[in-house]
Structure 1
Amino acid sequence: MNDPMKTLKYHTTHPYPCGYLPDKMARSEVVAPEYQIDATTYGRLLKQGYRRSGHFIYRPQCEHCRACLSVRIKVDSFIPSRSQRRSWKRHHCMTTQQHQLHYKKEHFLLYQRYQNARHVDGNLDHDKREQYRNFLLQSHVNSRLISFYDMERLRIISFIDLLPDGLSAVYTFYDPDVAQASYGTYSILWQIQQCRALGLPYLYLGYWIKKHEKMDYKANFQPLEILIGNQWMPFEHVIDDL
């Protein structure tokens, strides 16, 4: 039986401004777009440090920078911190609905509000419907849109991929105007609970960059594993050397 991983072809993009480090240029290695990657193959690619953005599967391939490192939570070993327990208690009465990927104006308006409040970085593409659709509403794998409501008010939207050995947290946005809310933390805790319910060992959180303020939260979910080279290693064993 042919191994689909051996037939995949890749190309490396031209340099473009890094979305994480403003003084850097980035490049990505992208799976050739003619391949429609299924969940099994994508799960294997994910374990090698690739991520999905819409139909595109990519990983950083920057010549002089290795700052972006993949991280995942070991679900069975995870113990919430005191602040995480408070977040769970504060928001656990929210109701959730799971959907196939679809466009809804209410979701897009929340996305716009979140981007305007949290990512004021000059990226004007954030308010475009087509960019939103391409980024979040296209997938060749088993993806879900999760909506969270508090007293019938939409508060959180999370996009997740269901894969053979875990869930992949694609993207989450939430109401930025609720004081004292910790919606981002709660959404990850909810995804951890989903992994446990489904018997999946990992929650993949995407890329982490040391001392990057928008990614610091990922290191709060321990025990965490981090991909160094081709090996997943305990986060606490390597953090001081990064």
Structure 2
Amino acid sequence: MNRPTNIQLYVTPPQECSYLPERDAVSIFVEPGTADNPIYSHLIRHGFRRSGEHIYRPACPGCQACVSVRIPAARFKPSRRERRCWRRNRDLAAHWLKGHYAPEYFDLYQRYLAARHPGGGMDNPSPAQFRQFLLSHWSETLFLELRLEEQLLGVACTDLVDDGLSAVYTFFAPEASDRGLGNYAILQQIELAKRLHLDWVYLGYWIENSPKMAYKRRFRPLQGYQGDRWRELAEEP
């Protein structure tokens, strides 16, 4: 595909960082209303990400803590922990569907946010907020349903781009937290990428000092976008 041209970018004013205390965050955004999947497919290879309709990348002065990371699907080798996670969830039915709003999804999304982010500004969502955050009129978005018989236990929102899959967000039943459904959803995305002969599974941003993001570092091999190029991240000791 030809490289997109005339991509207009805008810089946001500084605001409080959601991940690192006492720091300000600045992002660059693609001009609203001009994004499409070819533009996204190009920019995700340069460290960008999607939130709803918006494509953005952190651009904080003097800080490079947010590192875009991706898994090379064909080279991925599951660890012992990941093999256990796969076996633990082999009783679940996994189905890929076109991304869409459904009351059943929203109910699960509400319960997940109330349990995981109480008082954090995300725990009282509306159906409109669900759509604005997870869906986009221009993206090729898929939902992975994870069910135990008829019970919906988890949903993973994933974008299909030219060279891979981009993990947007995963939510699951709080009472099923022992299953490791977030990790299991990534394993399912790697399997789908392999079946579709896609190169990468993009995991969004990883911050070394953020415990909430530590799980991303466990997937191996893993590449990070640093210094305007993708580099293999060294194995943790």
Q: TM-score, normalised by structure 2?
A: 0.93
Partner in structure 1 of residue 32 of structure 2: 33
Distance 1:212 1:140, change over 3 A: same
**How many angstroms apart in 2 are the aligned matches of 1:73 and 1:121?**
33
Give the superposition deviation at 1:177.
0.9
Give the superposition deviation at 1:23.
2.2
SS in 2 for 1:214: helix
**How many angstroms apart in 2 are the aligned matches of 1:151 and 1:172?**
20
- One-letter code of the match for 2:130? Y
SS in 2 for 1:177: helix
Partner in structure 1 of residue 95 of structure 2: 97
1:71 to 64, 69, 72: 69
Give the superposition deviation at 1:119.
2.1
SS in 2 for 1:86: helix
- Of residues 46-55 and 100-109 in structure 1, the stretch that sits farther from structure 2 once superposed is 100-109
SS in 1 for 2:169: strand
Unaligned 5+ segments in structure 1 are none
**How many angstroms apart in 1 are the aligned matches of 2:130 and 2:170?**
13
**How many angstroms apart in 1 are the aligned matches of 2:106 and 2:33?**
29
Partner in structure 1 of residue 22 of structure 2: 23
1:149 aligns with 2:152: no
Instruction: Answer yes or no: is the 8 Å Cα contact 1:126–1:132 preserved in 2.
Output: no
Q: What does 1:67-146 correspond to in 2, within 5 Å?
A: 67-120=65-118, 122-124=120-122, 126-146=124-144
**How many angstroms apart in 1 are the aligned matches of 2:177 and 2:228?**
42
Distance 1:179 1:65, change over 3 A: closer
Paired positions, count: 237
Instruction: Answer yes or no: is the 8 Å Cα contact 2:117–2:123 preserved in 1.
Output: no
Can you list the C-alpha shifts for 1:149-176, whole angstroms capped at 9, x where unaligned? 0121101101111111111101111111
SS in 2 for 1:180: helix
Distance 1:139 1:49, change over 3 A: farther
Cα RMSD for the two superposed structures: 1.9
Q: What does 1:178-189 correspond to in 2, within 5 Å?
A: 178=176, 180-189=178-187
Give the superposition deviation at 1:126.
4.8
**How many angstroms apart in 2 are the aligned matches of 1:98 and 1:62?**
36
**How many angstroms apart in 2 are the aligned matches of 1:179 and 1:52?**
26
Distance 1:192 1:2, change over 3 A: closer
Residue identity over aligned pairs, in percent, reads: 41
1:62 aligns with 2:60: yes
Distance 1:55 1:14, change over 3 A: same
Partner in structure 2 of residue 10 of structure 1: 9
Give the superposition deviation at 1:122.
2.2
SS in 2 for 1:188: helix
Give the superposition deviation at 1:125.
6.2
Distance 1:218 1:126, change over 3 A: farther
**How many angstroms apart in 1 are the aligned matches of 2:18 and 2:201?**
23
Give the superposition deviation at 1:3.
4.7
Give the superposition deviation at 1:24.
1.8
- One-letter code of the match for 1:11? Y
Distance 1:163 1:121, change over 3 A: same
Unaligned 5+ segments in structure 2 are none
Q: TM-score, normalised by structure 1?
A: 0.91
**How many angstroms apart in 2 are the aligned matches of 1:193 and 1:3?**
28
Partner in structure 1 of residue 232 of structure 2: 234
Give the superposition deviation at 1:129.
2.5
